[in-house]
Structure 1
């Protein structure tokens, strides 16, 4: 918790403060000696001849590569990650393409560009720094971490050639991203019990109602992304306050018993 980033406020007020201080905090994260050593090691050791076996066998490199995509918890799942990295990206039936969480596909795609090791190493290093910043924000307030992640992921959707349905399925398969959309739409967690096609319909319908469109060409604008994140944070704060008040009331009743 020593590296936690706390803004001193909660809810939307804290979110606005975080946005103003973000560039400065990302720069500070990049200059952290631990982060600097980690990214420097990756850039120095990732080469055009690095194999999937080499990467998963080198804990330091693997930690940064996975961390760049928020997959830190998979650092011990070496056999699985190797299969992802060795996937034939041109085959729609390959593991990386079949996984609902498209962060694994992005990892495999990045690894596939290692012929230009310097560029790939730099791109992974920058992504790792951003994720480390988000992680530190999350140690102070997890809802802010999720909002930052959603903002960046949805912005990236704007440059994708995928269909809207494909991108919505990606939202459904990415738990962090899903949490923000689900929260902004005021949906119950029980919606996950519905068939996935029905979930898709519900999310797209809610997006039309709340965001004004279910097309990511319109959702992935600064204005709509801001609407998504602020609505998520506002409803999260209301839920937290309501839960806290209920807990306080229950304790008060118990104390009188």
Structure 2
């Protein structure tokens, strides 16, 4: 069962369990990986320089063009939630655009998400800790389907690019996702506390913060209020602020990701000298 928040101030069970989908697994096997050739911070800098070109190449991939072309042609104002979940090719793009590929087999659940009352705080989609579901429902329910088609297909291409990067180095995929997520957080009117709850519920984003702060996954065993307290204190200490208006700036995002990648690289290496070398990068 997925975790549902009883209210905006509680995120005890923010993490959703991913379902295994044989279709998705077979497609991943066919997806060409993007290899940078370097690891850690050095590879991240190369990835940043080549990202625009790599996304352009990804968008031109025949498999992705077929998927996005089909989605553009078939998502219309008359498309219902039942229609969408009943069409695997459309659902693949809609979920893939939000990084929710693991839910391809969970059609009944996704239909409930898409049909949720956005204005009712007690509705399913508003009680889910992972707000990617809310974004999915918001986009689907908008009357401007032309905008939805464009937004979802572009997001799908971006997610496919990230997936291909992740096949070579999962830490880079997490870093790309965190950068994009935090840029949107910085423009929102929600309280910082509310957005910290969302970080706890967004597993990929949470992993970057945990890694950068040196937190163990066992942190999840604490009460949610205590987790928020620990994350905000660590953010103040490591990043200089716990406000997402500051955390979403290019400078702070880079600081977060640099620290995350340096510590991730240190954990994959052996020997204290390598660990010290990685840590030294953080002070430069």
Interval containing the TM-score (normalised by the shorter chain): over 0.9
**TM-aligned CA distance change 1:131 to 1:237, over 3 Å:** same
Matched, 1:96 2:125: yes
Paired with 2:217 and 2:186, the residues of 1 have a C-alpha distance of 27
| Aligned equivalents of 2:270, 2:243: Cα separation in 1 | 33
Q: Which residue of 2 aligns with 1:63?
A: 92
Give the Å deviation of 1:11: 0.5
- Partners in 2 of 1:244 and 1:27 — Cα distance? 40
Structural mapping, 1:152-163, within 5 Å: 152-163=180-191
User: Using CA pairs below 8 Å that are at least 6 residues apart, which structure has the higher relative contact order?
Assistant: 2
Asked if residue 136 in structure 1 is aligned to residue 167 in structure 2, the reply is: no
Aligned match for 2:64, one of 27, 31, 35: 35
Measured on the aligned residues, the alpha-carbon RMSD in Å equals: 1.5
Q: Residues 106-121 of structure 1: matches in 2 within 5 Å? A: 106-113=135-142, 115-121=143-149
Partner of 1:49: 78
Aligned residue among 149, 164, 177 for 2:192:
164
Consecutive unaligned residues in structure 2, runs of 5 or more: 1-28, 274-284
Match of 1:235 among 263, 266, 276: 263
1:147 alignment counterpart: 175
Aligned residues: 245
- Consecutive unaligned residues of structure 1, counting only runs of 5 or more, are 246-257
Say if 1:106 and 1:243 are closer, same or farther in 2 by CA, change over 3 A.
farther
Q: Which residue of 1 aligns with 2:101?
A: 72
Q: Matched residues in 1 for 2:229 and 2:42: separation? A: 33
Deviation at 1:188, TM superposition (A): 1.4
The match for 2:41 is 12
Using a 3 Å threshold, how does the CA distance of structure 1 residues 26 and 243 change in structure 2: closer, same or farther? Answer: farther
Tell me the SS of whatever aligns to 2:270: helix
User: How far is 1:243 from its partner?
Assistant: 7.9
Distance 1:242 1:172 in 2: 30
Q: Classify the secondary structure of the residue corresponding to 1:242.
A: coil
Answer with 1 or 2: which has the greater Rg: 1
TM-score by length of 1: 0.93
1:128-179: per-residue Cα shift (whole Å, max 9, x none)? Answer: 0000000000000000000000000000111111110111000000110000
Q: How does 1:195-206 map to 2 (within 5 A)?
A: 195-206=223-234
Q: Higher helix fraction: Structure 1 or Structure 2? A: 1
Q: Which residue of 2 aligns with 1:82?
A: 111
Q: CA deviation at 1:244?
A: 11
